[in-house]
Structure 1
């Protein structure tokens, strides 16, 4: 049952926004929650349908979908109800729960994105059979390590290093950023957590995806076959890398900026407009909505086709045939079913075969 008498509540849990703003914020979160659940459900359904044929790196995509789904199911309903209530529901206990879940899922998400980028960077450009490969067991161990790492950081405030508290606008909870200047305990926790759970993974995400675009640019530049339309390929790869990195930065950078402002200006916390504090939090929550769409769509279209094209370019070579002969080709490191030969060019009575997707 929602609370109607806000005067009986702890002031820190009463929304600092107007009821109208709270209502529309709640509606926004409803939309984000629905789209997040549907998008991640699509990824999980696709993975379940072909569970036995999933490649090892794809398990990270599944883990990301589980993380985003968990956040949407375990956190958003409480935040939505509190927004419509114009006050946080549940007091200290639910605030601790919300902050704990937020820390676990946020750290798991960013670390999954970072590991996904590293694996794709290492695999990109490698020969299909002799290059670097990751086993499913290895990736499962990495995923387990990610979850343990996130749970460890989430539990530390419960054991006295750092703390959780309400956001400035009143209907969400997170790390108590304003404790930065109040004690050495909070100072060391926030600095360590910011470096190891935010800055380093963010740098990995940015550099690995741009590194992927750079490596593929070099690969296709070295292949002298005009049939592969290098310009369009490079644009697709670059667009994918930029979309992923910008999507992540768009969601989290505003929240990090405001959080760090709160850290270094904790004495001026009362002067921070609650509405300004609300907007970055809403942007950050949108990450659970578009992460699945970015990875699901690109995996099924550009990424899958371009890696397939990469293998064809590296591994299939065709020999010149005379009229009346079937085109002959030599296959290196790929199955013959991956290459299709067509005879479409005849010059001076000589027919040549061209690879195509």
Structure 2
């Protein structure tokens, strides 16, 4: 039996290839757009912003190095390249997946640290620390991706034959410790840390809101902005974890039960859903970040014709990755006896 032959119908193979091609195009375009926006404002970039750029790099890397091979294999009705490309594909998928979730975990921790002192002018996270954190996420992911190559775990084809990943069904005995360790350190623990960090940020914002309401009837800009950023961060984390959870559950089923009882068409669905995780982040930025949407509309190829682009300069605009808002009171003048507040946004990336 050819383990690399598709077990799906030819029509479903073609449909899967078209679906992956759409994901490839959307992921490359979206994440390139995020990187272009970051490059355009690199002179104003703050250290923690590099973490979100790093996240876009992981999504872009997966789309460029993996998806085209999967598209070609689907349209060929057979996995191309045999064992060599299968190990390569499984290693790349595991590598970028672990890098992404660890980057989300580090980003949640950094946002929590910054939220502890919302109005502090002191920079909490410096360039050196952020660069070390980014390097750590890549090195951590590389170590885990190399474990199956070194004998702890194994890569192999998916049951439907058009993709490769960790060979779950073959690790029931000899690789069981790897599976338990992998799920514990690369899914359960990061998820718990992310949930705790964002829950802590929510509590901090609530306390700040209650204090401000006791002093005045206005909600401070710092709470409004961080509330919006909290929504963006939570959606990004939910998007990634939500995409990979069904695939994780099916993989666990393959470890503890007979995977042959799962039809290939059913095992295909969570795998394809997990691959869509590389598309969501740019869409979340665009729909929930006013500044990112304005900067995208300002790009030359979108500013043609009689409708020149205009970027609003409003205090409630937030960049993609804002972390902190500094509020500084101005001295009141005789013409304006009310307190004037200048809100200076500090971007997080």
Q: Supply the distance in 2 between the matched residues of 1:127 and 1:55 (Cα, whole angstroms).
A: 15
Cα deviation for residue 352 of structure 1 reads 2.3
- Give TM-score scaled by structure 2 length: 0.82
Question: Are 1:206 and 1:245, in contact at CA under 8 Å, matched by a contact in 2?
Answer: no
Cα deviation for residue 125 of structure 1 reads 4.1
Q: Supply the distance in 1 between the matched residues of 2:192 and 2:270 (Cα, whole angstroms).
A: 20
Q: Please name the residue that 1:109 is paired with.
A: 100
Q: Supply the distance in 1 between the matched residues of 2:47 and 2:204 (Cα, whole angstroms).
A: 21
Query: 1:18-67 CA distances to partner (integer Å, 9 max, x unpaired)?
Result: 11111111111111111100111011111111223211111011111111
Aligned to 1:352, what secondary structure does the other structure show? coil
Q: Which has the higher contact order (CA 8 A, sep 6+)?
A: 2
Query: 1:89-113 CA distances to partner (integer Å, 9 max, x unpaired)?
Result: 1110000000111111111111001
2:240 to 240, 243, 248: 248
Query: 1:172-203 CA distances to partner (integer Å, 9 max, x unpaired)?
Result: 111111123232xx011111111111211122
2:259 to 263, 269, 272: 269
Query: 1:131-180 CA distances to partner (integer Å, 9 max, x unpaired)?
Result: 56111111101111111111111111111111100111111111111123
Cα deviation for residue 15 of structure 1 reads 1.1
Q: Please name the residue that 2:329 is paired with.
A: 316
- 1:93 to 2:84 alignment: yes
1:169 to 160, 181, 184: 160
Q: Supply the distance in 1 between the matched residues of 2:70 and 2:24 (Cα, whole angstroms).
A: 11
**CA 1:115 to 1:303, structure 2 compared with 1: closer, same or farther past 3 Å?**
farther
- The runs of 5 or more residues in structure 2 that have no matched partner are 293-316, 344-349
Q: Please name the residue that 2:130 is paired with.
A: 139
- Give TM-score scaled by structure 1 length: 0.80
Q: Please name the residue that 2:144 is paired with.
A: 153
Q: Supply the distance in 2 between the matched residues of 1:235 and 1:54 (Cα, whole angstroms).
A: 21
The number of aligned residues is 315
Which structure has the larger Rg over C-alpha atoms? 1
Cα deviation for residue 227 of structure 1 reads 3.4
Q: Please name the residue that 2:307 is paired with.
A: none
Question: Are 2:61 and 2:96, in contact at CA under 8 Å, matched by a contact in 1?
Answer: yes
Q: Supply the distance in 2 between the matched residues of 1:141 and 1:236 (Cα, whole angstroms).
A: 28
Q: Please name the residue that 2:10 is paired with.
A: 19
1:49 to 40, 50, 53: 40
**CA 1:166 to 1:56, structure 2 compared with 1: closer, same or farther past 3 Å?**
same
Aligned to 1:311, what secondary structure does the other structure show? strand
Q: Supply the distance in 2 between the matched residues of 1:175 and 1:271 (Cα, whole angstroms).
A: 19
